[in-house]
């Protein structure tokens, strides 16, 4: 346990760069391991989640190394070229690593055992197993589709067509990755678009991926199976989900002005910035440019008195990991913020809807938690704080309430900040470098 206290901050000032995008980092290692030749990845997120993916790729026979300058290299095995791992793959805290890998392993002709930490072992995996079974794979799991699981891959995969019942890039990606090794066309229909890093990066590695946008907003993604993936360089942009924390901190701490450089601005990831601007946030995007195929911009953020807003359910996929920190922002805004369509928050690293509600309440915030919504009533002055927050193996809860304590009247204590290392190593030092006062307590 690594407990921290977050005290009221002096104005935040400075220019920072947050670590590489987690979603893109996982995919760079996985797709590199399935390509022929050497893939070089720069800007990889060296967080625990991504390091689990690196270990899994090694266990499956790919050579994955870090060079002295921080570039990662992957010697791929080709699609379908993995070898049976001798041990159990430990995916740690990472839903993305586990679910994407289930798709890949569904069409490798051997049996893999996979586990994770207590958080991952409580998350639903049936959502991935259900669409993958018709491809020919067999799964054995704990009750209710929980990990640990065994994946008995098929040597005779069938392509499938699947309509997603929930907006989930992980489920979409698992099906597409299983389709890589199947003959013919694999199709995924998503009624409400989720992040498209799999589609973009598979195309970058030479696969044929067709995306059709329907009039009703749905996307139909069709992958042609059995391509030869060719090794490519990947430059990972910085993670907008990580940038969210210093951005909200600067908005809440009076007198702050910071620049967050080269933030990934993929439109399927930027719902939080749209929402904050609707709340009156002074966020300007400078130097919008394309870096290695992804849009990035420098964000200049100034302290702002925020107003409550209604956040439509349709925006949820583009800011799904950002609701905890948005709820923190809403606690300092004037008026009511209603966040709708939040049912997916209940199956993240923690039940984020319940944990956010309990933690806000512990910090004196007036709120209402529904099955799939959260209403936060702010009065426009600094929230009280003073809460003792349990992070429950959830990095985004820990970081969100560190941000809360930076702006609240009383300090906020977080029982265990160690989960932050899964996605944002160096978070506390980066925030303290801007002017925050986050202190470590205990071992
Ligand atoms: O595909 C991905 O990289 C991710 C998809 C999202 O999960 P869902 O697919 O469960 O929505 C997101 O919450 C997660 O942090 C990363
Ligand atoms: C939900 C998250 O990640 P994952 O599903 O990969 O554990 C997250 O990073 O907020």
Q: How close is the Cα of 99 to the center of ligand 1, in Å? A: 10
350 CB less than 6 Å from ligand 2?
Answer: no
Exposed, middle or buried: residue 369 (CB in 10 Å: 0-12, 13-18, 19+)? middle
Q: How close is the Cα of 170 to the center of ligand 1, in Å? A: 5
Task: Name residues contacting ligand 1 (CB within 6 A).
Answer: 23, 96, 168-170, 173, 195, 320-321, 344
321 CB less than 6 Å from ligand 2?
Answer: yes
Confidence (pLDDT) at 443: 53
Domain positions in the chain are 3-20+237-441, 22-210
Say yes or no: do domains 3-20+237-441 and 22-210 share a fold: yes
Give this prediction's pTM: 0.98
Please state which CATH class domain 3-20+237-441 belongs to.
alpha beta
What is the CATH number assigned to the segment(s) 22-210? 3.65.10.10
Which atom of ligand 1 lies closest to the CA of 22?
3
Q: How close is the Cα of 28 to the center of ligand 1, in Å? A: 15
Residues of the chain whose pLDDT is less than 50?
A: none
**Catalytic annotation, residues:** 321
The beta-strand segments (E) located in 8-145 are 13-16, 38-42, 63-66, 72-75, 89-90, 111-115, 138-142
Q: Which of 92, 96, 196 to mutate to test the pocket of ligand 1 (most atoms within 8 A of CB)?
A: 96
Tokens of 138: 């067999």
Confidence (pLDDT) at 294: 82
Q: How close is the Cα of 387 to the center of ligand 2, in Å? A: 24
Taking only the tens place, the pLDDT of each residue in 280-328 is: 999 999 999 988 778 999 999 999 999 999 999 999 999 999 999 999 9
Ligand nearest to the CA of 175: 1
Query: Given the structure tokens 């966040």, which residue do they identify?
Result: 339
**Contact call for residues 40 and 72 (beta carbons, < 8 A):** yes
């Amino acid at each position: 346990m690594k407990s921290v206290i977050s005290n009221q901050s002096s104005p935040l000032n400075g220019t920072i760069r947050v670590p590489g995008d987690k979603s893109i980092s996982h995919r760079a290692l996985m797709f590199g391991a399935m390509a022929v030749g050497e893939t070089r990845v720069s800007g990889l997120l060296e967080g625990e989640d991504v390091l689990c993916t690196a270990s899994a790729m090694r266990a499956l026979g790919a050579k994955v190394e870090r060079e002295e300058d921080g570039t990662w290299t992957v010697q791929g095995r080709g699609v379908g070229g993995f070898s049976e791992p001798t041990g159990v793959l430990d995916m740690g805290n990472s839903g993305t690593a586990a679910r994407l890998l289930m798709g890949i392993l569904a069409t490798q002709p051997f049996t893999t055992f996979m586990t994770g930490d207590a958080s991952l072992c409580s998350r639903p995996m049936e959502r991935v197993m259900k669409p993958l079974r018709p491809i020919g794979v067999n799964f054995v799991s704990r009750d209710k589709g929980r990990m640990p699981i065994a994946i008995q891959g098929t040597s005779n995969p069938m392509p499938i067509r699947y309509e997603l019942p929930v907006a989930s890039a992980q489920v979409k990606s698992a099906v597409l990755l299983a389709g890589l090794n199947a003959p013919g066309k694999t199709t995924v229909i998503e009624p409400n678009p989720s992040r498209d890093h799999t589609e973009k990066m598979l195309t970058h590695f030479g696969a044929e991926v067709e995306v059709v946008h329907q009039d009703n907003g749905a996307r139909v993604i069709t992958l042609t199976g059995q391509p030869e993936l060719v090794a490519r360089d990947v430059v990972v942009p910085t993670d907008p989900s990580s940038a969210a924390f210093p951005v909200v901190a600067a908005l809440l701490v009076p007198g702050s002005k910071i620049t967050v450089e080269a933030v990934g601005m993929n439109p399927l990831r930027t719902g939080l910035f749209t929402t904050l601007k609707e709340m009156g946030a002074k966020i300007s995007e400078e130097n919008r440019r394309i870096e290695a195929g992804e849009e990035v911009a420098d964000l200049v953020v100034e302290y702002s008195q925020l107003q409550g807003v209604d956040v439509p359910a349709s925006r949820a996929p583009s800011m799904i990991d950002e609701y905890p920190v948005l709820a923190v922002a809403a606690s300092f805004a004037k008026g009511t913020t209603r966040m709708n369509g939040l049912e997916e928050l209940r199956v993240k690293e923690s039940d984020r809807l319940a944990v956010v509600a309990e933690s806000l309440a512990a910090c004196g915030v007036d709120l209402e938690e529904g099955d799939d919504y959260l209403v936060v009533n702010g009065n426009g002055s600094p929230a009280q704080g003073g809460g003792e927050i349990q992070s429950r193996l959830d990095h985004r809860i820990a970081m969100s309430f560190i941000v809360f304590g930076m702006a609240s009247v009383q300090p906020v204590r977080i029982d265990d900040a160690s989960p932050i290392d899964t996605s944002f190593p160096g978070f506390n030092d980066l925030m303290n470098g801007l002017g925050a006062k986050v202190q470590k307590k205990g071992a």
